[in-house]
Amino acid sequence: MAQPSVESTGTALQSDMVLVERALARDADACRLLIRTHNQRLYRLARSILRNDGEAEDAVQEAYMRAFAHLESFRGDSALSTWLSRIVINEALGRLRNRRRTGAVVMPESGRHDPGGEARIIPFPLGSSEADPERTMAQRQILTLVERATDELPEIYRTVFVARVIEGLSLEETADLLGIRPETVKTRLFRARRLVRETIEKEVGPVLMDAFPFAGRRCDRLTRAVMLRLGLEE
């Protein structure tokens, strides 16, 4: 993956600072743009840790509230996406530790704790199936296999895999985000890819890694929930 130039990185950080300044001024459009821009990455990272759709969405919402409450502390030392990602990872890890202490798992459809349950994969919408229902069904089945294979990864490999393969972060970005050495990222990614490939190839062979979307109604719902909690939308 090509690395961004110093000039492009600087421009991105400047754009981040402009957006943050507008958000600090309670500019509703800026807050909405900030949320929508980062929803997908934050959701994928949270879900890679929690392995549960509903709880991951809750974790992202809480992370946004924490971020907006401390937005003035963002100084542009790193990209806004990295700053937000660290917050959501901390939130998700905190929830995971609490889940392990209580022995409970949150079920997406009800939000209730089920001490003996397991997180279930909810297939994400792929758009209208009217044009080619068979193709849409096949895509849905493949994505479900990818999601399941990812969920089955050991925890130390899962977030690296999501960050590098599904979210597309660079080696350096992933290392910086997770606080580990680039060499460690390489090792964990190699093992994660091998495990995922072995799981999927048993069923369908090589597939396109395009899982865990965050768009449409799910994105709209989370954006509106955060805006309401910020008091910027009725």
The fraction of the chain above a pLDDT of 90, given in percent, is 43
* Residue range 113-138, pLDDT digits in tens: 333 333 333 333 444 444 456 566 66
Which among 36, 33, 5 is positioned nearest to 20, based on CA atoms? 33
Q: What is the mean pLDDT of the chain?
A: 79
- Res 114: pLDDT: 38
User: Can you tell me whether residue 12 is helix, strand or coil?
Assistant: helix
* Residue range 201-223, pLDDT digits in tens: 776 644 444 556 666 778 888 99
Q: Which residues, 6 or more positions from 90, have their beta carbon under 8 angstroms from its beta carbon?
A: 63
Contact (CB, 8 A) for 222 and 61:
yes
Predicted model pTM: 0.66
- Res 204: pLDDT: 61
Domains and CATH numbers, the chain: 7-110+214-229 (1.10.1740.10), 133-201 (1.10.10.10)
Contact (CB, 8 A) for 49 and 38:
no
Which among 103, 196, 86, 91 is positioned nearest to 151, based on CA atoms? 196
- Res 209: pLDDT: 47
Is the model's pLDDT at 101 over the cut of 80?
A: no
